[in-house]
Structure 1
């Protein structure tokens, strides 16, 4: 008898709990406009969500990940978006490769083929050399094209420091390197690792080094006007947004608008692959680097002006407010997630105790190679489940 009473009591309690839960769920469903409180570290940051026009989130994106221009930080934003929305990242066939070819132009037939599992690429975002037609053969017409540029003098300085090119050139400092015509000529004739050197932006965009310069009557090297103009024209007709590293927060505001990303948290990002220390440039060295990277300077100046026009079209005050909101929210997430920065040469982020279990903190701090590994594992596992085939 006692056992029966206990069972009845348990059944009664279960019924009450279930009824209350169902009633609460019904209330929430009947209030579709209910706004939940932001996490504690986001409270106090004024939202500007109302400034956004209604739009559909982009499902197909090509991001040309340029060298030493803040592209790894943007890459993290796009990988988080892909992970959250179930988008497919175009991956190299080799499981040990973390970029597409950067010495030769992009080749679609070298992308891991998951089509048997009904999975086509939504996002192309790893390092590559841009080839418009090849990418359009892989991606649909509605694809949004984005890249980022950095002031060429600062870019080359960062390139020289990050890849420790002084070791390749006899331990020469950047200042001594640019004044040594023999070493300069060596890098002009043969790019380091087949892809790193002068006019890095133009090279990443697919322009061949032999089209960088011609010799003027004064025997000075000058950019080949026709080739550079053609490249600019191609970019103007292809890229929806060329972000500017020196205006990074504004760039994130425009990126969020272009891709219709959900909420400002989607463009919060922690700096990736940034050096702790940088070489200081004298005015003569900076002038010489500008000369050596003349094609990049033309490209950068053109797209910096175009970027400013895009900001003006949206409204300078509006973009400034959105950029400030992104910066404030980023600081909140840094304080919430990160114990300290780390890394002897490159900035990294050590999470607070227990924060690695917070999915947002984990992904914000995740190094790009580890994030790429995670996405490869998720995508190939899903493809195996659908087809029974083995994918690496």
Structure 2
């Protein structure tokens, strides 16, 4: 039985026990639940420490990291914080795949509170750029699912994938026939998370000590490693780590592919992917287990309550922006407002986005319009909008 199933079973038993103890009254159960979980509430009780606002998020590839970045961008704007953004020579990423340098940061976005655009992690440079009390977080995804997404997304950009004529099966049958470590975009074709973390994606698979070194280094630097498959549970831990409110972690999913752009993985293919991406698999297995250990310490009943409260907060957000219904995915070509059209990597894969909420065409004030628009804005456009607004603020503050 998986860790999550055990965790959920424990949650059910706990809730049933509470119901029986309270005589079956749900309102009493929630009071009892709060009593055994005093650190948790829908918002921060008076007297608790202030929200932590200095955050470095390592945005890994194809791991729901765009959704997380959007959450951080919106938090920064609501709290008048500065987000480190790439200089114009780097586009919307920090000159990836080069190792990160503080010189890649646009001067109008200094000194920063938050950084969350794609980079290849270099600890010393981040420590030089960010405040001393910065909390470092990142996110991982199950390696087989992540690699399938990478192969689909970059099949026309990564030379190793193009050499296999877009066939995932062919590539995995004999990866060394197609893979060239020296190719410009080879980081998408093997151990991509390891590469993003600044590690050696091509390290010998017989060196278990190197894998352990990577795990230990990530443990030492990052206060939280989120897991994409358990995004809401990860946000529960993030909220308490940063002392944020529930509204601060409400989100909608971004940068999603259509079902026709996805490749169904067999158990055999998944096993081959994990073998090929052995370092990423080692990292994922360790930090997935670590996540569930931390959740078990917090308590199944507490986590279940927090996830429920998060979803209530998201429903409230959807009500205000979309009339209570989840926004409908649309192909980019059908999205009328071009600022909401997601980037399309190739004709072989379709990334869907959202159109303007219906409510916003009915005379909403700008104060109501902007938050809803930003909630569904793709990464590239949001980065440009944020850079523009921060540049204006920078110039105003530096006027003679």
**Inter-partner Cα distance in structure 2 for 1:191 and 1:56:** 47
- Structure 1 residue 82 displacement after superposition: 0.7
**Structure 2: runs of 5+ lacking an equivalent:** 1-39, 333-349
TM-score (norm 1): 0.78
Whole-angstrom CA distance in 2 between matches of 1:255 and 1:238: 15
* CA distance 1:50–1:67, shift in 2 (3 Å): closer
Instruction: Output one character per residue of 1:102-150: Cα deviation in whole Å (capped at 9) or x when no partner.
Output: 21211112212248xxx41111110001111111111122100000000
Structure 2 residue aligned with 1:99: 93
Deviation at 1:268, TM superposition (A): 1.1
3-state DSSP of counterpart to 1:279: coil
Which residue does the alignment assign to 2:234?
A: 251
- Say whether residues 1:349 and 2:354 are aligned partners: yes
Residue pairs, 1:1-392, within 5 angstroms: 48-49=41-42, 54-94=48-88, 97-114=91-108, 119-165=110-156, 168-179=162-173, 181=174, 183-191=175-183, 193=185, 195-210=187-202, 212-213=203-204, 222-261=205-244, 263-277=245-259, 278-334=262-318, 336-338=320-322, 340-343=328-331, 345-355=350-360, 357=366, 358-388=369-399
Instruction: Report the Cα distance in structure 2 between the residues aligned to 1:245 and 1:252, rounded to whole angstroms.
Output: 10
Residue aligned with 2:256, SS: coil
Structure 1 residue 84: Cα displacement: 0.9
Question: Which residue matches 2:5?
Answer: none
Judging changes above 3 Å, is the alpha-carbon distance between structure 1 residues 383 and 154 closer, same or farther for their aligned structure 2 residues?
Answer: same
Describe the shift of the 1:379–1:51 C-alpha distance in structure 2 as closer, same or farther (beyond 3 A).
Answer: closer
> 1:373 & 1:253 partners in 2: Cα distance?
30
For the Cα contact (< 8 Å) 1:244–1:307, is it kept in 2? yes
| Alpha carbons 2:151, 2:161 under 8 Å: kept | no
Alpha-carbon distance between aligned partners in 2 of 1:177 and 1:186, rounded to the nearest angstrom = 7
Q: Report the counterpart of residue 219 of structure 1 in structure 2.
A: none
Closer, same or farther in 2 for the Cα pair 1:334/1:300, shift >3 Å? Answer: same
SS of alignment partner, residue 378 of structure 1: helix
CA distance in 2, matches of 1:223, 1:361: 50
Partner SS for 1:242: strand
- CA distance in structure 1 between the partners assigned to 2:246 and 2:197 by the alignment: 29
TM-score (norm 2): 0.76
| RMSD after superposition | 2.4
Report if aligned partners of 2:192, 2:201 keep a CA contact under 8 Å in 1.
no
Change (3 A) 1:170 1:335: farther
CA separation of 1:295/1:203 partners in 2, compared to 1, >3 Å: closer, same or farther? same
Distance 1:192 1:335 in 2: 45
Deviation at 1:188, TM superposition (A): 4.7
Q: Is the alpha carbon distance of 1:113 and 1:51 closer, same or farther for their aligned partners in structure 2, counting shifts above 3 Å?
A: closer
Counting matched residue pairs gives 328
Classify 1:305/1:323 alpha carbon distance in 2 versus 1 (closer, same or farther; 3 Å): same
Q: CA deviation at 1:193?
A: 2.5
In structure 1, C-alpha distance between the alignment counterparts of 2:331 and 2:209, rounded to whole Å: 44
Paired residue secondary structure (2:328): strand
The equivalent of 1:3 in structure 2 is none
Structure 1 gap segments, 5+ residues each: 1-46, 214-221
CA distance in 2, matches of 1:200, 1:107: 19
After TM superposition, give the deviation of residue 330 of structure 1 in Å: 2.4
* Structure index of larger Rg: 1
Separation of aligned partners in 2, 1:144 and 1:388: 32
